[in-house]
Every structure is written in structure tokens, then in C-alpha cells.
A and B are shown apart, each in its own frame.
Chain A
Amino acid sequence: MFPFSTLLFLWFLSMFRNRCCHPTVVLRIRIRRTSNYNYKELRRAMAFLLESPQVLTACGMVEFMAVIIPMAIALELQASMLKVQFFGMVYSYDPMLCHVVLKLYLSFYDAFDGQEVEIARRLMLISKEAQSFLVFRLLALHWLLGLNQLVMSGKGDKKKKPMAFDLMGLSFYPNVFDPLALKALKLDLLALCMESLKSKSDSEMGDSVEKVFEDGIVSVSAYKWLPPRSTETAVAFRAFHKFLIGGSSHFDTDPSTTTAIMESTIFHSLQLVPVIVAFVDRLLGCQKHCWLGERLLQTFDENLLPKVVMDYKLASCFPLFDRIAENDTIPPSRLLELLIKFMVFLVEKHGPDTGLKSWSKGSKVLGVCRTMLMHHHSSRLFLRLSRLLAFTCLYFPDLEVRDNARIYLRMLICVPGKKLRDMLNLGDQLLGISPSPLSSSIFNIQSPRTSNNIKKSRNISSYVHLDRVVPLLVKQSWSLSLSTLGVDSNKPGYLEGIRDSESPVEEREIDGSAEIHIPETETINQPQEPLRVMDSKISEILGTLRRYFSSIPDYRHMPGIKVRISCTLRFESEPFNREWGVDSSASGLDRVGALPAIYATVLNFSSSAPYGSLPSYHIPFLLGEPPRNDYASHQQVPLDIVLVENGNGEEESFRAPVMIELEPREPTPGLIDVSIVTNAENGHIVRARLHSIPIGIEDMFLMATVPSDIPKEVIPGYYSDLFSALWEACGSSSNTGRETFLLKGGKGVAAISGTQSVKLLEVPATSLIRATERYLAPFVVSVIGEPLVNVVKDGGIIRDIIWKDVASDSSLVDTTSVASFDRGPLHLTYFDDEDERDSVVSTSKRKMGCFLILIFLPPRFHLLFQMEVCDVSTLVRIRTDHWPCLAYIDDYLEALFLA
């Protein structure tokens, strides 16, 4: 009676179950304890049960075996007895009975020696039974895989063949009507067969693996033309994966078979690109198999790229290109060439209806370029990428693409590779998206993280420095601010600098017929001018001056004369990192990589002084200075030497040159306030004020302009004449005082209103000459007096000027009246000590000569020095048409010559 027999059996079972520990252990203990008699009884009971397997249902058999097996082991029963009794169940169509046999096999695999093939064949055949439920067919294949695995992993002894796949391997080809799930598992088994085959034979297997793969995949070949989301595609790629990684475990060093598979036709369809990309991603994401992913990409690079057809459809390949670009094991040249061709194609095909298309495709190309910038060394890319970007900047029809290309080109050129990569990576992190090839918005705008921390910003000036390249001689601590004089509305002419010629309105009215009316204008103007006594000399001077002034631009109507102040920007790494939390420890090996950097720095300048509009200055990239001690030790020089102003070349790379351009309305010293806006690597926007830059009067010193029609060789003469003319005009007894001179452009006029002054410098001639040569050499227009000429000529620094003996220049002697200097009352005021005075006087009488120095002060003023050089002192006669500057000149001269 079946239920009772089973229940009886269950009781038998529960005897062990209630023990809550391993039955085998229980049995072993019990058997040891029991007498021989009990042992025999147990064996007899076993024999009864084993003889009557048919009293059990399939379920009962499973339970029975679960108990019998440990018992049989404990009783050391002949396993062959069990085998004979139960092996036939493997031919049952009841999956539970088959499984029981497998369990038996697993416990007593020695007794089943030689029957592995039978078991394996049986399992394979179960999977072919179309009548069975799919899940049991799947289970059969899984059991087969599991068995093989156990055998392979050495649970059995080593001699055993891995389920003898070689005998039946090829019968795992899927059938047309096999459900896809079954096809997938059969393909797994094929892959396994190939592997077990490979492990014994060698060379020619590569071909056959590929063949087997190709044949196996036929059953899901619809992946080639079905939409990429189809199940067939999923199964095909799953099989591909298994073949790849199955093949890899034995062929880490020689991936020839792998390559053979990779080159198979699976990849020749454009529509599969998203699937392929997902597949590659999967491999790349795996530590063990990412080399396969790389290999796959390399294969694409080598074999696929040359074959692509150049048309708009190429865009569907871009996700793949992105992966290739990401991978630094693949030389980017091929891809770049392709992209260049594609860009050319886009430019050529551009027409009225392709605007959006061009934009989208162009953006995608740039997206790939960006990926390359992120993952390759710039040097590898530089040549071709810069070509591509330059081409795009120049010819691409879409403005945005052009702009972006320009940005990338600029970054490629300016920012060192490591930093550039960090920067681009950071952009991705901030956006919180991986570089998605499908998103059309590659150029997302970063959401800036503006720092509101005022304290932080305030501290910045202590470690971000903007310094003048040439320090000022005079540490100017004050400046004469004319607006405080309270004469702002009614400025005197000399302050105004330039005023309009008196009748601009009329001038404009008659603009159309200038030729005729200009004389009229002059006649209208004339009555307002004083009657002048014009001798030939004065008219000559006026001629010179008119010609000269007409070459000075009128800043009100055209770009004025600019003064450029060279500065350098630098910042200290350590405090910067501390404040802005940039992780500098990221790459300790690379020194440059460890240093922080700032990007897209903008320096804005402002000043209360009349310097016109100050353009801001842009610095794309700047590295921080290495910490002092690190830097010092690296340089192997003591600290104090490093601090010396002009560092060596290495240091220069941590400094960015900055040029401040002033367009002074008035030559006056002043302060330029500097504010900085920059980006730290972590995306912080840093805004702060830096220390102001002092502007001294010497910054205003410019060479006088030379009209363009003056030949180069007569320029020294021109300067000399100009000096004389201006000297004359600025003299107190000038006849030109009320003369006005038209400036360039013809709208503004200037008048000269001269002032003069003297300054005695008690310095030896040698040091004066040296200082002059050093600081004022460009402005020297003439040297007079033989001793001085000789000295200066020997120095060789001052060149291309007019050299004169004293005697030869009568006019100058006249006007300068060198002799009159001796009567100067200054001596009396300065020196009370008779002896000393005597000595001074005596020595001063040994004159060497004269420097004539002409300095232009923008926008249109002049400073003239006539330095009468004696052995121990020098008298400087100063004339200028801008009296306020005298206030500074005094200090300047003292600093220049006395310091």
C-alpha cells in the first residue's frame, strides 16, 4: 500500500531529521556504539528498502535517497549495489528521478566510472525532449553544466575527462524550434565544449572555435536585422560574451582565438551599435575581462573604421567612437582621421536644410574630441586634433560648433594635459552624468559654485600675487589727485590737456568741402589768436611742433596712446589648497599634477586715477607655485636665493605674464585696483581683490611719436629738432605760448604752456651716466660736450642719437646758457659751508657735457631734461608743458640718481 509504505519511510526519515545535525555523523556515532547485531539489522533493513524501489513515488524516492546516501556511506555499502538498483531511473521522464541518479553519482562517482558519458548524453537528450516543459529541459542542461564543473574543479580525480564533451560536443547546436532560452543555454554548452577542446589540442583550434561560434549563432541570426532590442540580439550577444570569456581563461597570453571570434561578422551592422556599446561597457566594467573590451575596441578601430561609409548615418556610430576615444590603449590617429573626414563631409554637404543636422553632428564630433582630450595625452592628439578643431573653427557652418571648437582648441593649446583631463572630468562630476554619448547637449553649462565665503576671499591676496615685473623706483605713496582741487568743472587748459578746436560745429558743417573751407576756418579762428611776431626761427619751431602734434592721436576720438605695465600673476599652492579644498594628494608622483591650478582667470582693473578704460586680462590656466621647501629642495639651492626677484626658468612656468594697459588722460602716478575672478579645479569660483598695483610717473615715460613720413635714418635729427622746439616752446619767454596745435584727426587742439625747474643732483658723473644709461637711454636725443660724448659712446648703450661738441651748437648754448648755471643762486641756499661750497663750485666747474632728454607723457605732454653733467654733480634743467608732473619728477630724479 503505497501511502503507508511511504509514511513508514517518512517516520524512518524523521528519526534523523529530529537530530538537527548531520545524519552521517549521527550514524557514524551510532554505529560505533551499536553492537555487531545492530549493524547487521541495519544492513538488512537497508537491503529491504533497496530491493523495493517501486514502493516509492518519485517524491518519496528523493527523500529516500537523501537519507540513504549518507547511510550508505556510513555503512560502507557497496556503491555499485545502489548503482545497479537505481541507475535505470536516469531514463525516466520524471525529472525528479533523473535528479536522484545525479545525486547518487555525485556521492559515488567512483562507482560510476565510465558512465559519465552516458549520464552526460542522457542529460543532453533530455534537453531535446520537445514534450517536456521548457524548465526541465533547461534544468537538464544546467545539471550537465554543474556536473562538468564539479569534475573540472577537481572534486573527482584528475584523470576523469570533463564529461567527455569532445565526443558529443557538436550535438549542442540549437535547433530551429528550440525556445530562445534553450538556445542560449545550448550556446553556453558549445562555448564550454570549445574550451574543453582547446585545453587539449592547440593551434588550429582558433579557426574551429570561430566556426562553431558562427554556426551556433545562426540560430539567432535574426539579430542582424531585427530591431536591436530584440531577444534574439540579447541571446546572440550573450553567447558572444560566453565564447569570449570562455576562451579567455586559457589564452590570456595569446588571444588569437579571441580575435578570430571578434572579427566575426557580428559587428557589421550599424543598427547594433547601441548593443555593441552596452556589450563593450559590460566587458570594460569587469576587472578580469576589461582587456577583452579593450581588445574589442582595438579590433573595431583597426577593422571597422576603415570600412565605414561617409554619410549622415555615421552619427549612429558615435557612441562606439566615444568608447574608442575613451580608451587610451588605442592610438587616436585613425579615429581622428575619420572625424576630420566626417567634418569635411559635413561642411561640404551643408545646405539650407541641413542646419540642424550639421549642428547636431558637429556637436557630436566635438563630443568625441572632448572624450579624447579627457583620456589621452595631449601630445598624442595634438597634431590631428588641433587640425580638426582648427578646421572646424574656420569652416564649420554652425556658430555654436565653431565656438566650442575654438574653446577646445584653446584648451588643447593652453592647458597642460593632466590638468585639462582633470578639468573635463570635474565637469562631468559636477553635472552628475557620465559622458553620455546620446545626449545631444554635450556642452552643458556648469552650475557654478560661487563661494560666498568672504573671509576666504579676503585672504586670497596673501597668496595670490600680482607683481610688477619692473618695480617702481619711487615707492609712490601718494598721488596728486586733481579732482580734489575743486576745479573739476572749470579745468584750466593745461589740465584739460586737449580741447576742441574752437569751432567744431562749423567744421562739421562744412565737412563736405573741406578743401575750400579750411582756410576760412583759419581766418575765423585767427582773430582770437594773438598777433605774433614770427621770425624764421619761431616759424621753424612752430612747423616742427605742428608736424609733431599732428601725429599725436586724440584719445577722445581714436585709440589713445597706451602705457603698458608688465606684471606677473602667481599664487602659492599650499595656502590655496588649504582654502579651496582642492585635493592635491591625488597624484603624488607627478609633480605638476600635484599642484593646484586655476582656470579661466580674469583680472579686472580699476583706478581712481585718470587712466581711461582699463581692459581686463585673461589667463586661461595657471599652475600654483610649488611649496617653498619642496621647491627649494628640488632646486638644490638655499631658500633666500630662490626668493630673488628674477627666478630661473623653472619658476617662470608658475607665473603668468599680465599686461595692464592704461590710456592715461593725464600723466600721473596712481594705484590700480585689481580684482580677480577665477575657477579652482573643484569648480569653485574664486572672486577676490588683490593688492593694488602702483603706477609711477616713470610708467608714463614714452618715446615721442614720429610722424610716419620721417625716414628712419633721420629720426635722431628729428628728435633733436623736436627737443629744441619743445624746449623753446616750454620756456618762460616762449613765443609759442598761445599757439595751438591740431592733433591727429584734426578735431582736437593742444596748447603748450610751459614750466621750468631745476634740480641739482650731487652724484658723480659716472654713476649719473650709468643711471641714465640704464633708465633713460631711450629718451636721450642728444649728448653734447666732448668728454661726455666720449664716455657715453664708449658705453655703447645709448646709440643713434645726435652727438655734438659744445661749440658746434650755438643755438643750444644760447638757449641753455650753460654759463648762467654758475650764477645760480641755488648754491648759496644749499650749502652754507664755505669750504665745501668752494670745493663744489670748483669741481662743478669741470663740465663734461650735456644730456638732452625728451620724454613724452601721454596723452600729449612732454618732459624735457637738460642734464649738465659735471664731475661730482649734475644740474638738471627741467621743462615741461604739464606742470603737475614736476611734483613727481623731483622724487623720481632723486630715486634715480641718488639711491
Chain B
Amino acid sequence: MSGSGGRGGGGCSIRAIWILNSLDAVVFSRRFPVVEKRWRTACRSENEKVTENSLSYSVFSLFPSDSELAAAFVERKQREGSARGFGVRVSQSSVGSDSWVDDPITRHIIGLYINKEEEGDNNLLWPLILHIKGNYCILVLPLLEPRHVKAYARLCQRSDCGNAVGADESLSSLLLDLPSITGAFMVAHAIGDIVAGDAVEPEVLVSASPSVGGLLDSLTGSIGISGISSRAKPVAAPVASSIPSSAAVTGAVAVDAPKIGSRPLDKDSLRTFISSSMPFGTPLDLSYSNISAIKVNGFSSSDLPPADLKQPAWKPYLYKGKQRMLFTIHETVHAAMYDRDEIPDNISVSGQINCRAELEGLPDVSFPLTGLNTAHVEVLSFHPCVQVSEHGADKQAVMFSPPLGNFILLRYQARCGHGPPIKGFYQLSMVSEDKGAFLFKLRLMEGYKSPLTMEFCTVSMPFPRRRVVSFDGTPSIGTVSTTEHSVEWKIVSGGRGLSGKSIEATFPGTVNFAPWQTQRLPSSRSFLGSIADEDSDVETENSNNMVNMEEFIMEKMINNLPPVDLEEPFCWQAYNYAKVSFKIAGASLSGMSVDPKSVSIYPAVKAPAEFSTQVTSGDYILWNTLGKCPSAAAEKV
């Protein structure tokens, strides 16, 4: 890799940042002249090389104005069907478009063709990191070498049917070669959090009070401003709020869908953040809490660390005050429950250990992680402050120099150590076009012992494409309510949770829908639209030969289903299912735990360690046993 340490490719510098609103107008832009100058220089030398090699085209070295960029963005949006684009090559993909490259990541790393009058048409501006947050599209343009842009231009101009995996010149090798793209994503996400205003710190639970404030709290606490909480407590904000994958609710687009309303752009805080986190276009620290803490507090002489200690980047201030350590395990359970012989149920747990270390000085903390095997922990990823030693098979010692405030110490993926918290089946059968009979038979917390407590449990049957008119039936336990597009069954609710015993819940009933109306799709959304264009001759001979009522209804339902985004796991609306939401406290489901007694601190101080767990449901889906369901081949290890 001779060129890997080159000027542009090795480091991470940002040429420019744009933020576009939902009307595709640029509402914020920032360019970095220092980086731009480097880019021009690189282009010049590259283009000189080009003339020697008598290659005809050169790299677009100029910088687009805001309006040019907005125009190019709109043009791409039209060409590629949506702001993100098709992602894979479809019949509408045109040569030169991102989707021509046929890779889903082109929905995140996009190229724009800037039309400059003096430069001629179609100057490729690549790579633009596209991050959509709320109503805003954030575009970040990292610096790289002109040859990379050329390589990409070749990729999206290639005339053949597409790249084989592992071919010589590919997007993969470009991405591997370019940490600046990775860095630009980090920048984009950091800016996205600020734009959306949800730059929350991970939640740490304490037994006494529901949660503990973050860095600023500890700072203000330590500085001595008592009684002022500098930041609102995240009221029941689930851990998932910063985690995209678990936020998918009944097929709503997780990433693209605006979660918050039109919140005015806080340009001042954005400018401040950009100028201090990436001076001259080179990102230094993207931690919003660190940056704002430094901005609020500045540095005083008392903050100077002891000379013999190296103060890490993640701990700009030292803590002073009562010492303690808090650990919280957050787990999210994803499950696909089939109740079928041929498809095994699939339960997975994604968890993280959040930590807050209120320790004076710069101590090292260590504790052993045990039971990794029994917990079937697959993946372990750590905070940069953790010094990772060799992985043991079953044991993993964690040693870290904790930063200030709440942080995610580690993340893991595991299988469910216990049985599934909710077992059973859901059957829905359409007895007529507008009436469905359903039956739940569930067992909750089977084999779960105290202190595992289910705080609440709700089952909802979403019918996003039907309007629920009424329902009939009484559950063996709990209460039922309906909304326009769903039926909610609260099995466990209120103050008293379910602990130390298992219960069985059944719910037979019927649900009536408003008559089915064919919804025409807005054609712009169609994904493979034109090739599937209605062939008027395709017969729909459904008069008598449709034996199965259910199939007939299903066919009618799915016929005009819009294609889902590539960020979705499947087309949710094509299935009937019940989604379970619950919260379990007391222990982790994976078996992962931290023994407060075995936490050791060096240099030794007496600091109590507290440990808590919280398990919530992610996509916990009971597929309709009588209908279609998505599945995947069982993983073979």
C-alpha cells in the first residue's frame, strides 16, 4: 500500500458540510478553505499527470455554490427515485448514477453531478456522505485524492453487467483505502445529533433515583453549583433512542422517517461545535458533551492533571467528589417467533454495559466478564478507553481508564440465555374480506425466576393498511384497546410487575375492518416501477378459481404494496404479525452480568459499585402462524 499514507487518503479532513432541509434548500453550509486548498493542489498535480498520460478527463477541482449543490441534489433525487437513491441497480438506473454501481452503500455515500457553466456539465462531486436526520439531509464532503474520485467515476460508468464480488477495482477497496469516508460519517452523525437535538448520553440506572445525569451534571456537581440540573433528565427515554435498528416500528422507515417535527436549526451551536470540533476541517473530537463542557467551563489551573499521569483524550476534566461506580446493562431482545416445525424461532439479544465512574484522579478500573460462553456472547466491542487483552474463550478481563460521565463501556450480541420471555402463538385468519378471527395463546416468563420481573407487557396487532372498526373477544388476562390501525392488548401493566411466576394468557377474538379500498401508489415511490409497469393483458382471473379466501385477500393486499427501503429488513406490511413490547428488570436475559464485588480500582480507592439491568423488547414479533412470514436460513457456525 504505497499510496495509503498519502496526503488525502490517510487522514481525515472535511472539505465542506451542507445541511439541506426538506425542501432541498441549503440551510447551512460550511467550507474549509485550508482543506480546499490542499484539494486544489492535489487536483493540479493530478491533472498535470493526466495530460502526460493523455487521458482526456480531469477531476472537478472547483467548489460548488450552495445553489449548484442544491440543484444537483434535486437532480439526483429525481434520477435516483429518492434522496437516498435506489441503492442497487434496477432497470431505471442510468449509467453514471450511484445505483449503477449496484451497492446498497451508495444510499449513504452519494455522488452529485455539478453543472458549472464555465466548467461544462457533469462534474462529479464524490463522495458526499449523506446522513438524514429528522427533516434535514446532512452532506459531508471529505478530502481524498483525485485518483479516488476517478476510480469511482470509472465504477459508475462501467458498461458491463456489474462487478463480481472480489473484482479488481471495486467500491470495497476504495472504502477500505479511505478512512476519511469513515471519519466523515462520524462527523455527519455528530452533526445530525446536534441538528436533531438528541445528543443524549447513555443512560445509567441507579437503584435510588431512576437515572443519573451525564457529564455536565457531574461537572456542575463537582464545581459545586448545587440545585441546578443543567440538563433535563431523559424521561423514560429508552436506550434505543440513539440506536437506529431497534426503532423500526411496524415498518416505519427507521432512518428516513422524521422523528421530530420541524425543529428550527440551531445554527449557533452548530457553528460553535464545528469550529471547535474540527478546526480547519480536521476533526479532533466529535464528542458533543466534551466540546460543550469545555466551552462552558474552560480550563483553570486546578484542572491540571498530575504531571506523572498522561491525561487521556476522553477525560478533559478530573472528577472531584464522592466516589462510586455505576453499571447498567441494557439489553434489547429481538425475536422472530414462528411456532412452526420447519422454521426455528430466532431470538437474539443486543446489549451494552453503560457505566458511570465517579472516581477522582485517573485510576484504572478492571473487572472480569464471566459466563461469556453460557451467555452465548458473540460480539464484544469496547469503548476506546478499554485496553483489550487477548480474548479468552469464556473469560474476558476488562480494564479501562474511565472517562467522565456516562459512557457505553462495551456492546455485545448474545443469544437468549433463558428461554424466550414470551412464548406461544398468534393466529389470524380472515373469515371474510373485512373480518379476521384471531387467537393468541401465550406463556409469559416461563422458567424465569425472581428477581427477574416483567414490568409491563403489551401485544399489539398492527394493521397499517386496514382501518380497524371494531373487535370482539375477551382476553384471559389484561385489557384490550384499539387504535385506528391496531389492536393493543396490555397483558401486564401498572405498578405491579410479574415476578417469580409464569402466566398463561389467551385471547380469542375477531376484528372487523373497514371495507378494503385499493390505494394507488404514488408512482414516484415505485422501486422497480417501469419494468413492472402494468401489462394490461395480465389477467386477474379471480372470479371463481381462487380456492382460498385468504390467499385472495392477501393477493389483493400485496398487489400494490410499495417497495420498502433497503434499510428495512423486509416489507413489514406484507405480513400479519403481533409485536410484543415488554420491559424486564432484575437480570439480563443473556446472562451477562457484572459482579460489583469483583470490580477493582487501581490505585485502590474505596468506591461502591452498583449494578442494574434493564431488558426491553426490540422487534419481538409473533408471526401469524396461518400466514406468510419472513425467515432466514439458520446460521451455521
Contact = CB atoms under 8 A, between A and B. Distances in A.
A155 B350 contact: no
B161 A283 contact: yes
B570 A148 contact: no
A816 interface: no
A536 interface: no
A759 interface: no
Contacts of A256: none
B566 A184 contact: yes
A347 to B, nearest CB: 18
A179 B164 contact: no
B519 to A, nearest CB: 13
A193 to B, nearest CB: 9
A255 interface: no
Contacts of A133: 185, 189, 244
Most central of A20, A93, A189, A248 by chain B CB within 10 Å: A93
A96 B179 contact: yes
A289 B176 contact: no
B537 A180 contact: no
B633 A173 contact: yes
Interface string B544-575: 00000000000000111101111111110010
B561 A227 contact: yes
Contact of B38 (A17, A24, A62, A231): A17
A235 B107 CA distance: 14
Contact of B89 (A20, A70, A238): A238
Contact of A245 (B164, B189, B381, B559): B164
A128 B167 CA distance: 24
A95 interface: yes
Contacts of A430: none
B496 interface: no
Interface stretch (A312-320, A494-502, A681-689): A312-320
Given A54-B313, A129-B411, A130-B350, A438 B539 contact: no
Interface string B7-20: 10111100000000
Interface in B205-249: 243-246
B348 to A, nearest CB: 7
Contacts of B373: none
A248 B160 CA distance: 15
Given A150-B176, A177-B569, A179-B566, A227 B558 contact: yes
Given A55-B311, A59-B12, A195-B166, A136 B185 contact: yes
A286 B378 contact: no
Interface stretch (A273-281, A407-415, A664-672): A273-281
Contact of B571 (A146, A231, A282): A231
Interface in A183-237: 183-185, 188-189, 191-192, 195, 215-216, 218-222, 225-235
A640 B560 CA distance: 76
A50 B595 CA distance: 34
Interface string A93-112: 11111011011001100000
A330 interface: no
Given A143-B172, A175-B348, A275-B532, A232 B570 contact: yes
Contact of B243 (A65, A131, A222): A131
B107 to A, nearest CB: 7
B183 A96 contact: yes
Chain A binding surface SS class:
helix
Nearest to B540: A313
Most central of A59, A249, A312 by chain B CB within 10 Å: A59
Given A1-B305, A10-B282, A215 B633 contact: yes
A255 to B, nearest CB: 15
Contacts of B182: 95-96, 99, 136, 139
Interface residues of A, number: 134
Contacts of A192: 165-166
Given A106-B4, A179-B568, A130 B245 contact: yes
B350 A131 contact: yes
B570 to A, nearest CB: 6
B527 A229 contact: yes
Given A54-B401, A225-B628, A289-B161, A2 B316 contact: yes
Contact of B175 (A54, A143, A274): A143
Contacts of B183: 59, 62, 96
A642 interface: no
Interface stretch (A84-92, A397-405, A508-516): A84-92
Interface string A108-147: 0000000000000000011011111111101100111111
Contacts of A438: 533, 535
A95 B1 contact: no
A198 to B, nearest CB: 12
A288 interface: yes
B172 A176 contact: no
Nearest to B560: A227
B165 A242 contact: yes
B619 interface: yes
Given A62-B11, A150-B176, A231-B565, A88 B185 contact: no
A91 B382 contact: yes
A145 B528 contact: no
A289 B167 CA distance: 14
Nearest to A292: B161
Nearest to A237: B88
Nearest to B619: A177
B311 A1 contact: yes
Contact of B538 (A146, A188, A313, A364): A313
Contacts of A89: 384
A153 interface: yes
A176 B105 contact: no
Nearest to B350: A130
A811 B5 CA distance: 128
B591 interface: no
A103 B10 contact: yes
B250 to A, nearest CB: 14
Contacts of A786: none
A452 interface: no
A538 interface: no
B312 interface: yes
Nearest to A234: B88
A60 B633 contact: no
Contacts of B567: 134, 179-181
B528 A228 contact: yes
Contacts of B382: 91-93
B12 A96 contact: yes
B194 to A, nearest CB: 16
B91 to A, nearest CB: 5
Contacts of B173: 145-146, 149-150
Given A138-B108, A143-B172, A60 B313 contact: yes
A277 B535 CA distance: 14
B285 A179 contact: no
A357 B538 CA distance: 11
A102 B178 CA distance: 11
A57 B285 contact: yes
Contacts of B299: 1
Most central of B176, B310, B527, B635 by chain A CB within 10 Å: B176
B388 A56 contact: no
Nearest to B173: A146
Given A93-B382, A99-B182, A146-B175, A181 B636 contact: no
Enumerate the 8 nearest inter-chain pairs by beta-carbon distance, A residue then B residue, closest first.
A66-B10, A146-B176, A181-B104, A286-B161, A229-B528, A93-B381, A145-B172, A215-B633
24 contacts: A52-B310, A54-B312, A62-B12, A88-B389, A93-B410, A96-B183, A126-B381, A130-B350, A131-B243, A131-B411, A138-B105, A139-B182, A145-B170, A170-B636, A173-B632, A195-B165, A215-B633, A225-B628, A227-B561, A229-B527, A241-B162, A274-B532, A275-B532, A315-B539
Given A5-B313, A54-B312, A70-B5, 12 more contacts: A1-B316, A54-B384, A55-B310, A57-B285, A69-B4, A130-B350, A133-B244, A136-B182, A181-B566, A228-B528, A288-B161, A315-B537
